[in-house]
Amino acid sequence: MPILVMKFGGTSVANIDRIQRAARRVSAEVAKGYDVIVVVSAMSGETNKLVGYVNDTAPLYDAREYDAIVSSGENVTAGLLALRLQEMDVPARSWQGWQVPLQTNSAHGAARIMTIPTENIMRKFAEGMKVAVVAGFQGISPEGRITTLGRGGSDTTAVAFAAAFDAERCDIYTDVDGVYTTDPRICSDARKLDRITFEEMLELASQGAKVLQTRSVELAMRYKVRLRVLSSFEEPSDTSGTLVCDEEEIMESNVVSGIAFSREEAKMTLQGVADKPGIAAAIFGPLADSGVNVDMIVQNISDEGHTDMTFSCPVDQVLRAEKAINDARLRGDYTFDELICDSNVAKISVVGIGMRSHAGVAATMFRALASESVNIKVITTSEIKISVLIDRKYMELAVQALHDAFGLDKKA
């Protein structure tokens, strides 16, 4: 039998009624002839509640116990969905991560998947089980302890199962009906994409789009797992959702496929840094060691042996970045004249594989922003992406202007 992986997020299993709706969708796929692996998240809000319990009990918690507690929400959902399917006469069984076993490393709270043996589940399929309901987000360490994959890890779990079991497809059910050219809440004429490449989806996800978790897209691209993003709240059809696939499966697309944005960005500038070999390593090494997620980096032209170094990071990491930089100066790693932080910026990115073969994307982007008097603070580019930092108050205006400039409300 062909295997299909279906993943249901927290809003899709938020209560018993929604679990019943999910069960009907799974039953329909079984009726089409699939053996189905369902990966479930905890009910909406449940993981936050469990994390709150941990923090209230032990702010400096043992990460192994943290994982044991916060992983329990997925176990409840998996059991309830399996029961509902059994009530519908669909042979189903719930599976916790250790029962598969989904084997990870020992990095509690942010574990990486090492391998997923298929023997246990495949044996049960051969014995007549039609649905394996797997608790997402969790696995087991080499020491035999429960681990979790980090927030959003159920998407990664689903893609990993699709790769391990050579599934025909991995369907991600969520509260949106696909991937859009930009956030419809910002731009009313945003258009749902029928298909998007792995590379474009990865760039959109990493630049702020919240539809899919970045690690899951990386995994799908590596193992060529076809993903379909669907809404749990709409009736399925042949045109439902967005397929995330290889570039070869897309005949023609717009030069730019989407506009991503991130509100919570900060721009930090070190002025008067010595311009010499090793200075970048001296600055960014301690930032990495402190867990600061540095994104855009720009170095200015040297002036009499000194330069300015500008970078962006999430706004909630500014204090951590300031401490790392000042500690490095106190150790004598390097010196600088002034550290300037601007916590009121947003990052806007235009993404599209068409940039590889079409000139003028940057010019169109900059003209569109200039026409709305939006000043650009920092620019970075890659093969299929251009990102800029702007004042946060202009973010929505900039997204709308760029969406219009690239005609994203129209198909190619």
Go through the chain and tell me how many residues it has: 412
Is 285 labelled as part of a ligand binding site?
Answer: no
Residue with tokens 């922003």: 369
Q: Which long-range contacts (CB under 8 A, 24 or more apart) does 94-99 make?
A: 94/133, 94/134, 94/135, 95/121, 95/132, 95/133, 95/134, 95/135, 96/135, 96/138, 97/71, 97/134, 97/135, 97/138, 97/139, 97/140, 97/146, 97/147, 98/138, 98/139, 98/140, 98/144, 98/146
Q: How many CA atoms lie within 13 Å of 279's alpha carbon, on the beta-carbon side?
A: 19
Q: Is the peptide bond before 184 cis (omega within 30 degrees of 0)?
A: no
Structure tokens at 251: 């005949």
Helix crossing, 63-70 with 46-57: angle to 10°? 150
Is 66 labelled as part of a ligand binding site?
Answer: no
Is 233 labelled as part of a ligand binding site?
Answer: no
Q: Is 248 exposed, middle or buried (0-12, 13-18, 19+ CB in 10 A)?
A: exposed
Is 175 labelled as part of a ligand binding site?
Answer: yes
Calculate the alpha carbon distances from 229 to 147, 174, 201, 211, 258 in Å. Answer: 26, 7, 11, 8, 16
CB 203 within 8 Å of CB 221: no
Is 61 labelled as part of a ligand binding site?
Answer: no
> What is the DSSP-derived secondary structure letter of residue 171?
E
Q: Under DSSP, is residue 224 helix (H, G, I), strand (E, B) or coil?
A: coil
Is 380 labelled as part of a ligand binding site?
Answer: no
Is 242 labelled as part of a ligand binding site?
Answer: no
Is 9 labelled as part of a ligand binding site?
Answer: yes
Is 7 labelled as part of a ligand binding site?
Answer: yes
* One-letter amino acid for residue 290 of the chain: S
Is 180 labelled as part of a ligand binding site?
Answer: yes
Structure tokens at 262: 């991130």
256, 264, 240: which is closest to 181 by C-alpha? 256
- Residue 320's CB is within 10 A of a number of other CB atoms, namely 16
- Known binding residues for substrate: 47, 74
- Known binding residues for ATP: 7-10, 174-175, 180, 185, 210-211
- Known binding residues: 7-10, 47, 74, 174-175, 180, 185, 210-211
